[in-house]
Amino acid sequence: MKISGSCLCGEVEFEADHQGAEVVVCHCGQCRKQSGHLWSATAVPNVSLKLSKETTLAWYAASNFAKRGFCSACGTSLFWRENDGENTHVGLGVLNPPTNLKLQKHIFMAHKGDYYEVADDLPKVDDY
């Protein structure tokens, strides 16, 4: 299935093949700081991620093993990628509808913020 998306200002646009990867909500501290709350994403193979516009795409080395892609003009959080990984995790909020994706799991629940509760029936994993 093809997915596509963009940042808020439209200076970064992409499409990719979604091959049935998990659709997760991450509650870790880095994802909460990056997004302002939660990071929901799904993985696509790096080889299928095609950037049709990348004028303002920037990468931040968030740790010694991963980086986060964002638009340097509007600030939209777009991607998370392990430095040597084969997949890029794409934020669900930047995808063009219809996505035909459904959340499947909450991860890093042991690190979630103290200001909210998760009340859905999805599986919840303390770490990942």
Q: Which residue has the tokens 């299928």?
A: 48
Q: Is the pLDDT of residue 64 over 90?
A: yes
The pTM (predicted TM-score) of the whole model is: 0.93
Q: Is the pLDDT of residue 4 over 90?
A: yes
Residues 6+ apart with CB under 8 A from 71: 7, 8, 9, 11, 12, 56, 57, 58, 78
User: pLDDT per residue over 100-124, tens digit each?
Assistant: 999 999 999 999 999 999 999 999 9
* Strands, E assignment, 29-71: 39-45, 50-54, 57-61, 66-71
CATH number of this structure's domain 2-111, picked from the four choices 1.10.760.10, 2.170.150.70, 1.10.357.140, 1.10.580.10? 2.170.150.70
**Tokens matching residue 96:** 């063009």
Q: Where are the domains of the chain?
A: 2-111
Banded pLDDT at 32 (limits 50, 70, 90)? very high
Banded pLDDT at 42 (limits 50, 70, 90)? very high
At 26, the amino acid letter reads C
